Structure 1
């Protein structure tokens, strides 16, 4: 593969060891991870371009399958995406007794809606993604996730998620926020007004689950969200999953509910009949809410 100056811009690194061919690496450059980053050996660049909102790249990696990168930050790899997508979806959808209408904010790769559609009660899924080019790139290059966009129950909107929920009162059984980190445009999704607007966008017994960072690296972010969320929602909780290609290997979720408790009310019988799962189990559902000693008191 011919190396170009643009590769340096998106975090490529080329190593030439004695007697070995050139090898191409992607270096995740996120500054939000307290100086942590990972390097992934890649075989090919499937796409790399700038949309109106961000830089988009999809790589074929040597060991991790295909990899989506936005603004030089790893969003997912096929190797471990199930640990994230299954946990952000099945915890709330197995807690709510009959989720019919679901909103996904972000999630343009399609992995979250793929998991939502595994629940037979779901009749309608709205996806609100700011950047349509993310969806196009994933449909073209990561069909293992983006195949869900072909389902007739899915309707995609390309607009600002914070504005979207403000305009839809009492509309959804479950809202899932599959967001980027609280930097740049993603900051608003970690603030009190957005959580209040989501509360209003839920039906009277609705639930929200949001991506809410790592207990190892971002405890102040988690504590800040929990402090205002507990003033809005009758029940909140925090749980986590293990994703090796994310900084610290751990990513967590804030669960906010108008009625149901994710430990007391989740339906284990429905969980047992879900198919094509790689990570989620009822036992992991329960265990994910048990935080290590250093994280006690965050929520």
Structure 2
């Protein structure tokens, strides 16, 4: 179906038989980059929205919930995260949040599509401001190639990607998991977006990736959070490590109230960190490769 009809944008391809619609006040920008279709919309209730290949990436209304959780779940689980790699993350949101962790000294963001960066810098500076932090270095290139050149360098690798279509399809393959392992320092942590536990196709992706991870890492966990602008109002993250001392459910670094106020955190808390790993029983049963 046409994603834009009668003043509404509808994301339907990722959610068979259903859809998520946002009322649109105007199309701010629309183009086809060398990699994907890009739209930036002004919506009535969700503010500005970034759309890639007709899939909602983030909205001004709730982007912080995703950005904070995909950043701090792995960072606060690591005993001393200093060097961070973000694959994808062209909107700058993960860089913005990761830079707030007190142990982090450097963040490399590797985005293949420069147009995503340029457009969010122009139209969505509340996220793109992450690139202005002195800890952050932006690379416009392929994540696979970047990791080949940077072996055993990173404490945490965060994959901030869209769904497994277009330029992001390769980020959902076993070869990508193996590449991340090679770029991690011993005991490092990976964290990847894996979709919604309520969508059948995403469930299949989670099961396959957790199985693939089991051949590379000894500890695998799934966290799930709520976010209203994503189909089913849910998004999940697969985390893995070979550090037997890591307990994903219990953050090592616990932000104090003063720290959360200082960094203007709106969603993440140490308590929510732990609760995110309490997943429904049907998900536990369908993913036997989870170890924690």
TM-score by length of 2: 0.92
Q: Secondary structure at the match of 2:223?
A: strand
Shift of 1:123: 1.5
CA distance in 2, matches of 1:271, 1:164: 37
- Whether 2:12 is the aligned partner of 1:12: answer no
Contact 1:67-1:75 within 8 A present in 2 as well? yes
Q: How does 1:213-252 map onto structure 2 within 5 Å?
A: 213-217=195-199, 218-252=202-236
CA distance in 2, matches of 1:153, 1:122: 8
| Equivalent in the alignment of 1:85 | 67
Q: Secondary structure at the match of 1:236?
A: strand
CA distance in 1, matches of 2:159, 2:18: 24
- Whether 2:253 is the aligned partner of 1:261: answer no
TM-score by length of 1: 0.89
Shift of 1:270: 5.9
| Equivalent in the alignment of 2:140 | 158
Larger radius of gyration: 1
Task: List alignment gaps of at least 5 residues for structure 1.
Answer: 1-7, 15-23
| Equivalent in the alignment of 1:293 | 281
State the superposition RMSD in angstroms: 1.6
User: Aligned residue pairs: how many?
Assistant: 281
- Whether 2:151 is the aligned partner of 1:169: answer yes
| Equivalent in the alignment of 2:116 | 134
CA distance in 2, matches of 1:168, 1:79: 36
* Cα shift readout 1:100-157 (whole Å, capped 9, x = no counterpart): 1110001111111110011122211110011000000000001111111112221111
Shift of 1:32: 2.8
Shift of 1:268: 2.1
CA distance in 2, matches of 1:265, 1:116: 15
Task: List alignment gaps of at least 5 residues for structure 2.
Answer: none
CA distance in 1, matches of 2:206, 2:161: 14
Q: Secondary structure at the match of 1:296?
A: helix
Q: How does 1:110-121 map onto structure 2 within 5 Å?
A: 110-121=92-103
